[in-house]
Chains A and B, each alone.
Chain A
Amino acid sequence: MNSLTKPRTWEKLFWPFVTAALLLALWHYSVLWTGTKVFPSPLSVKRGLVELIHKNVLWRDIGDSLRRVALGFGMAVIIGIPLGLTLGWYPAANQVVNPVLQILRPISPIAWIPVAIVFFGIGDLPAIFLVFLSAFFPIVVACVSGVSSVPSIFRRAGRNFGLSPLQLLARVVFPAALPQILIGLRIALGIAWLVVVAGEMIAVDSGLGYLVIDSRNSGKRYDLVVAAMLVIGVMGLALDIIFRRLEKIPSIRWGFRDAS
């Protein structure tokens, strides 16, 4: 089995490059052979991308989407982490509140749009609310799970040194739970990015999601559609990479050492 021979380092770049090149070629030639008038070829996508940058549309839309994610995600962090820590710390409270969270969680954030529009009107706010909703639940769950999986040995040691419950939470439980909380934050950010794009397709008229829908609606510009999709993918990846960097900080990295 060739999985046994260790891949050399140059292969790390070689294989993806070859695959990407092959797929691009496949894409390009399928467009040519099927003679489709609408579906874009790689070249037209590239041209579309340049066009978006020149018209200044791209940066503005990226900025809008990022802003909404920042605000919604930020609020989910500010409300969700203290709540999650409290619920994790007091299992009795968690037992009461958790069922409500479990019932609300499977409701697609998109399904909240009409309700959000009633409360917030059309514009930025419903989109931000949607991002908040979608990030809130994973964050709370990660906090609860992180706190409850802190080994009791740490809590005992903390109490042994005379820490009050609040100090215990801040100086022992929170740092111990931080790796898991960070994973939850990273996942929540990924979800937030998905949702903001979806929300922009319905409830607002700016941002990358809107760019996708609008490019189609006003002129069947599928080259712009695909260009926008690629930008969405790359931006989402960038956000994910940033968070993974955070996981490498020494006072957090310990939580990822053991390959579980």
Chain B
Amino acid sequence: MRLPVQLRPVLFIVVLLVFWQIAVSSHPGQLLPGPWGVVLGIADLIRHGLLLKYVVASLFRVTWGFALAAILAIPLGLTLGWYRRGEMAFYPLLQIFRPISPLAWIPIAILWFGVGDLAAIFLIFVGCFFPLLLTAMSAVHNIPTVYINAGRNFGLSTADFVSRVLYPAVGPQLIVGMRITLGIAWLVVVAAEMIAVNSGLGFLIIDARNAGNRYDLVVAGMVIIGTIGLLLDFGMRSLERVKSFRWGYSED
């Protein structure tokens, strides 16, 4: 089939959607919606003003949790990466804390912050802190020694060295790590909202099911979650393309 290259994935998606619709229509009375049902569900949410409200709530929590984690974890990670002994000191602890799912922190989050926004933000903070810390540490390790030596050779003060050599050198890797961690944050916020709060897209999914088996809204919620997650990812990728960071990819 001589189809223009850009259209082929679109065609593939259309085919999948058709299959989905057929599968749903040929099983009347089952719970899950077809693509059209999802569209109607989204329209429903917009009509009730819920869509915007929930999206904003989720984004709000992600922004705060991610920002707090970044502000704390990145400088700390860079410092630990630089000072060998610091890293040695914290490494085993980090390796034990890292595999603990942010959701496992829920009881502690609720204990400290109660049920609500703060708990959700805390969970996102926890979910982002360790990946960002480790990324920053790794970024410092990967600075080519030649840059460090050049900086020292030119007699830079510590502050100068940090701003003129260290930060630009770790920039590309940090941005990539931040993009990946933002993706994690988005996953965590949805999960956190399903358990610990009363608004947001995650809550929408759980609530739509619990209060009446509205699976059209459930799947609509999933679609919206996927779309926003994708947009966040694209946003970060375009940040990566900013000229002053591009050098980090010239080795490709």
Interface residues of A (CB under 8 A from B): 1-3, 7, 11-12, 15-16, 18-20, 23, 38-39, 92, 95-100, 102-115, 118, 190, 193-195, 197-198, 201-202, 209, 212-213, 215-216, 222, 225-226, 228-230, 232-237, 239-240, 259
Contacts and interface: CB of A to CB of B under 8 A. Distances in A.
Contacts of B222: 107, 111-112, 115
**Size category of the binding interface on chain B:** 35 or more
B186 interface: yes
Contact of A18 (B89, B102, B110): B89
Interface of B: 5, 8-9, 11-13, 16, 31-32, 82-85, 88-93, 95-108, 110-111, 142, 183, 186-188, 190-191, 194-195, 202, 205-206, 209, 215, 218-219, 221-222, 225-230, 232-233
A195 B85 contact: no
Contact of B100 (A2, A222, A236): A236
B9 A2 contact: no
B225 A114 contact: no
A163 B183 CA distance: 41
Instruction: Identify the interface centre among A100, A107, A193, A259: most chain B CB within 10 Å of its CB.
Output: A107
Given A95-B9, A96-B9, A222 B111 contact: yes
B205 to A, nearest CB: 6
Contact of B83 (A2, A115, A240): A2
A234 B9 contact: no
B229 A95 contact: no
Given A111-B225, A114-B218, A201-B103, 19 more contacts: A3-B85, A7-B85, A96-B12, A100-B13, A105-B226, A106-B183, A107-B225, A108-B187, A108-B225, A110-B202, A112-B222, A113-B205, A197-B100, A197-B101, A198-B101, A201-B104, A201-B195, A222-B108, A233-B96
A112 B194 CA distance: 11
Contacts of A102: 230
A140 B230 CA distance: 18
A57 to B, nearest CB: 16
Contact of B101 (A39, A209, A237): A209
A106 B103 contact: no
Contacts, number: 176
B16 A194 contact: no
A148 to B, nearest CB: 12
What 4 A-B pairs are tightest by C-beta distance, nearest first? A236-B99, A106-B229, A15-B89, A110-B191
Contacts of A92: 8
Given A2-B83, A95-B5, A228 B99 contact: no
Instruction: Identify the interface centre among B100, B110, B233: most chain A CB within 10 Å of its CB.
Output: B100
A215 B107 CA distance: 9
23 contacts: A2-B85, A7-B88, A39-B111, A95-B9, A96-B11, A106-B187, A106-B225, A108-B191, A109-B187, A110-B103, A118-B32, A190-B99, A201-B104, A216-B110, A222-B107, A226-B108, A229-B100, A229-B104, A232-B99, A233-B99, A234-B96, A236-B98, A237-B98
